[in-house]
Amino acid sequence: MDEPPERLTTKPSWLISQLAVYVRRLAFEGFAAAGARGYHYRILAALHEFGPASQAELGRRCRVDRSDVVAAVGELAGRGFVERTPDPGHGRRNRVTLTEDGLRQLRRMDEVLDRVQDDLLGPLSAEDRQTLTRLLGRVLAHHEPH
């Protein structure tokens, strides 16, 4: 196989972008096999961790555009994974709640992502994986809006 120039392979930005393409494909394929999409995972995970939320809250928390949240919540509701009910404190807002079926789907998707992590980080020890995760989290936190 043709090797990329060293000038690229020594740049973390290039390495991260190459891995992002690879992991996006792995996650997409794994979620598709589970009948899901990445937005579904984000929303179900947020509802599980933080409880019922408005669609706007989910968009902000999951970093998903509002129109994409509406579509994803609609898909999830159609499959019985979430329930949308009117928010009694705000007439024009819906509250989205995780269902038991949604929790089961979240657990299936967790298994998919665990396999993706193992595939992606296969050559690293458990300690190296923790270090990489910590360092990537620190870099991301530095660049996120405050």
pTM tops 0.85, yes or no = yes
The CA–CA distances, whole Å, from 67 to 63, 125, 140 equal 12, 40, 25
Query: Percent of the chain beyond pLDDT 70?
Result: 99
E strand or H helix that includes residue 97: strand 90-98
3 state DSSP class of 1 = coil
State mean pLDDT over 93-107.
95
- Tell me the residue type at 81: F
Q: Would you place residue 146 in the very low, low, confident or very high pLDDT band (cuts 50, 70, 90)?
A: low
- Tell me the residue type at 110: D
Cα 127 to Cα 50: distance, rounded to the nearest angstrom = 29
Which domains does the chain carry?
39-116 (1.10.10.10)
Q: pLDDT at residue 33 above 80?
A: yes
Across the chain, what does the average pLDDT equal?
Answer: 93
Sign of CA dihedral 42, 45, 48, 50: negative
Written as six digits, the tokens of 30 are 């794994």
